[in-house]
Chain A
């Protein structure tokens, strides 16, 4: 009996060992199939639809608009945004450069000035601008209200004059009535124009890309290639994009010199350095958010990358000009598949079109 017992015990141990080995095998398999674990600098993500570790990529709801005007202010802002009345010679509106169908950008390497000549910097897309805190490539403006008046009065962009603009808007029956209704005890002024434009810009939200639906728990909306691309994007040892294009809005709201070729030219755009004269800021520009990025080619503040493939190739080299390069930039070891996965991912954080009726906005004019 005793011997038998020991034998049994041995057999049991054996069974336990076998069971354990099998179980481990199953676990490893499961890890391989369902849970792609990688270590990420800002936390650990499991690349599975709706996994709690992905929650930080979910855009938070915006604080409810503090103004009492509700949609009326936004509607007025929309009309102003598309109205050429804001430019001195009535040839252009905000939407001349920020075109809805081009991700609220203009498809040009750098914006075209009033005189038809190219300006120094590219027109940024405006998707999710409501989540920003500093505006323009160098972050020189701290509110959308203030930013909106910049192009209106800039001689190279819209060339308007404050007094003349107010007189024009007052002379227009629609605007006179709309402004009076919204601001009953104030004379029409440029500040109100800024308020309305900013209110409209805050509605240009992109929160429902396929990636967002995947993060929210919908499985099957991303292809394997797109999921792999996300892995490359956040992996500090491969794409290393997520350090700067950080969750949830794909930006750290920070400034970096990413080594563009134009910084090597004679008299380069110093970017953020003009606002904060700290050495590292020479040639540094704001990290743009990336949702809807597929719509707003060409890329970078100087428009030097024509396609998303060109963007990835730039990062792969670790930057062309190494002088004053961001310490986060490095040569990337990416194979062909990883590069195409990255591009696929950038498309998965973009909608195929802008959910906006241009006709509606233009009809009003």
Chain B
């Protein structure tokens, strides 16, 4: 076997450990927020739902489940925000303060789109 094959094997181990760490971390983090907030996942370059209805004052958590970065944002007048980019296992939340239709997109992958309907 040549050198980089063994590196490949090692890589698998390291990734395994990393995945467990992420798993454990996301378990704790998930526990803190998941009970209260609706969570929209980002997986395989898609939002887990295309539409979501929330009430004014409610928050939504955006959880990155892909092994690369996403950058969720909206430029809609009812809610203008930029969550910035974050990796797998992290989530960031937005609170919707105004009623209206909020178009949400990923800046890195514009084919990722969804709508949040905020009502009184």
Contacts and interface: CB of A to CB of B under 8 A. Distances in A.
Interface of A: 28, 32, 36-39, 41-42, 133-134, 139, 228, 231, 235-237, 243, 252-256, 272, 276-281, 284, 326-328, 338
Contacts of B71: 278, 280
B1 A32 contact: yes
A277 B85 contact: no
Contact of B109 (A28, A37, A253, A279): A253
Contact of A327 (B8, B69, B109): B69
A228 B84 contact: no
Interface in B69-89: 69, 71, 73, 75, 82, 84-85, 87
Contacts of B69: 326-328
Given A32-B5, A37-B8, A37-B12, A281 B107 contact: yes
B29 to A, nearest CB: 19
Given A39-B11, A280-B71, A328-B68, A134 B82 contact: no
A278 B87 contact: no
A330 to B, nearest CB: 12
Interface in B13-27: 14-15
Nearest to B106: A254
A110 B78 CA distance: 41
Contact of B107 (A39, A253, A255): A255
Interface in B38-72: 45, 67-69, 71
Contacts of A252: 45, 108-109
A14 B11 CA distance: 34
Interface in B82-120: 82, 84-85, 87, 105, 107-111
Contact of A277 (B68, B75, B87, B108): B75
Given A28-B1, A255-B107, 17 more contacts: A37-B8, A38-B12, A39-B12, A41-B67, A228-B4, A237-B11, A237-B14, A243-B68, A252-B108, A253-B110, A254-B109, A254-B110, A272-B107, A280-B71, A280-B84, A327-B69, A328-B69
Contact of A279 (B12, B82, B87): B82
Contacts of A134: 110
Contacts of A284: 108
Nearest to A139: B110
Contacts of B14: 237
20 contacts: A36-B8, A37-B8, A37-B9, A37-B12, A39-B11, A41-B68, A228-B4, A231-B4, A235-B11, A236-B67, A243-B68, A252-B45, A252-B108, A252-B109, A254-B110, A255-B108, A276-B107, A278-B73, A279-B82, A280-B85
A291 to B, nearest CB: 20
B82 A253 contact: no
Contacts of A327: 69, 85, 87
